[in-house]
Structure 1
């Protein structure tokens, strides 16, 4: 059942604002590399109370995830699980950058390259044990770019 809104029922919301930046993260090699603190600091500096943060990884052999940030063993278990799902092998046609190249692309598909996190009361609405991670799927050190885009009021 729908109801018609009367002019007196209209909500007067603050105008939406947008902000964006690019974080550059240096990874020493494979693993889940947390960058929650850097993200939260940038969000706080925008001075918004509510909204939605989108994070986007600009690479095809790295990805993003939200995962437990208390027990280090979780990160290691995830890396080993991904290695079992997409192992280095000579069966891949694509090996332009080495034997870890194609498995890195497959792991990126599995974990994804974007995240959305609500902003409530000026804080990221992450759970107690949740952290934001860059998943580096290549063996060598890399410089990765993560685009942050915040829409809110």
Structure 2
């Protein structure tokens, strides 16, 4: 089976957000997949996708603090600031974390670890809604 859906994530404030449930809601066909892969492609250059801790919100807040220290906003010398001072730092963070994930599917569910969830890294102050192209490939039930 092949299935491809464009999923629009609600606009979120700057930071790291657990979006596993929001993505799964946009891909009901996953339940019919016995074994396969789900590829997620974020169609933006100023946000990112990653997998990490899904239980403690402090981890997501710590991620935001870490990446803000790693790539500070307002640093002298950035040339690309067409959309404001968060523009180039957002691109740096997105490149460091990436815009795609490939996740295993088993028995109609994502085969992630107990404490794993999918994060959207929103690196802009006003990022808006984000689009994720979800491509599912596998054997049906």
- For the criterion TM > 0.5, the same-fold answer is yes
Aligned to 1:7: none
The answer to whether 1:142 aligns with 2:91 is no
RMSD (Å), alpha carbons? 1.3
Gaps of 5+ in 2: none
Deviation at 1:33, TM superposition (A): 1.8
Aligned to 2:69: 84
**How many residues of Structure 1 are paired with residues of Structure 2 in the alignment?**
137
The 5-angstrom pairing of residues 24-35 of structure 1 reads 24-35=8-19
* Higher Rg: 1
Decide whether aligned partners of structure 1 residues 42 and 140 sit closer, same or farther in structure 2, where only a CA change above 3 A counts: closer
Gaps of 5+ in 1: 1-16
Contact 1:44 1:122 survives alignment (8 Å) = no
Please, which of 36, 40, 55 is the counterpart of residue 51 of structure 1?
36
Calculate the TM-score normalised by the size of structure 2: 0.91
Aligned to 1:39: 23
User: Secondary structure of 1:110's partner?
Assistant: helix
Please, which of 20, 23, 26 is the counterpart of residue 7 of structure 2?
23
The answer to whether 1:129 aligns with 2:106 is no
